[in-house]
Every structure is written in structure tokens, then in C-alpha cells.
Amino acid sequence: MKKSIILFVLLLATVSFNVFAHDDVAIHPKIMEKSMSQSNLDSYLKNNLIFTKGTDTSLTMLSEDKEDTIVGWLKKGSTAEDHPMCRASNHFHDPLKSWDVSGRSDNSFWIGLINQYCNL
């Protein structure tokens, strides 16, 4: 009985779950949009960089001939940041803490495996 419980816990620990908060397709753009609405980015763009439409200013990516607003580009970037998976292993950082305890580390076994896979 004890062995089966341990086996079940180990199995449960190794199963990959899709965590709703980390859904990079649906949730990350919403988080980006919400954070931008609560920041002073729009007024900064208007007052300091003379983008009269602020975050609604359209910008064109010349290399791909695509146009979108600043809000649109940032939302796309919030999704693209997790692809490939090795990019996601490097962006959990709390800037309010010192670097050694900020949560950003590639020293763990699993992060090392992910980075090795991405560097192939």
C-alpha cells in the first residue's frame, strides 16, 4: 500500500498539466493589456516620444511588412515570449528582489535539460 501511494505521488508529480494562469495564448495578452492600462506608458508615449496616439500608434515591422498598434505588438510579444520553451525558462524574475533570490535561475536540473534541448 505504501509503495503504491509513493508511486502515485511520483506519477502525479511528473504529469504535465496545462495551468490556466500560464496559458500564453489567452492569458498572457490579457495580462499585458491590463498592465498597460494601469501604467503610464500611453501618456509617456504621447508626452515624451511624441506618439500622438500613444499605445494606439500603428507601427510596421519592415522585415515582415506587418502593421499593428503598440498594444498589439506588446500582446503578440507576451505570447511569443514562451516559444520555444527555452525562452520561458529565463523570464521569471522579480525585479524587486536581488538577482540571487529573484526567482530567475537556470541552475535547476529541469531548466538545464530544457536549455540543452533548445540549444541543439
Decide which of 15 and 72 is more confident. 72
Q: Number of H helices and number of E strands within the chain? A: 6, 2
DSSP-derived letter for residue 61 is: E
**Position 63 pLDDT exceeds 70:** yes
**32 with 78: CB under 8 angstroms?**
yes
Tell me the pLDDT tens digit for each residue of 17-43. Answer: 555 556 677 888 888 888 888 999 999
Task: Sort 111 into a burial class: Cβ within 10 Å, 0-12 / 13-18 / 19+.
Answer: middle
pTM of the predicted model, to two decimals? Answer: 0.57
**85 with 22: CB under 8 angstroms?**
no
- Amino acid sitting at position 86: C
- Kindly indicate the confidence band of residue 45, based on its pLDDT and cuts at 50, 70 and 90: very high
| Alpha-helical segments (H) within the chain | 2-14, 27-37, 41-47, 70-80, 85-88, 109-118
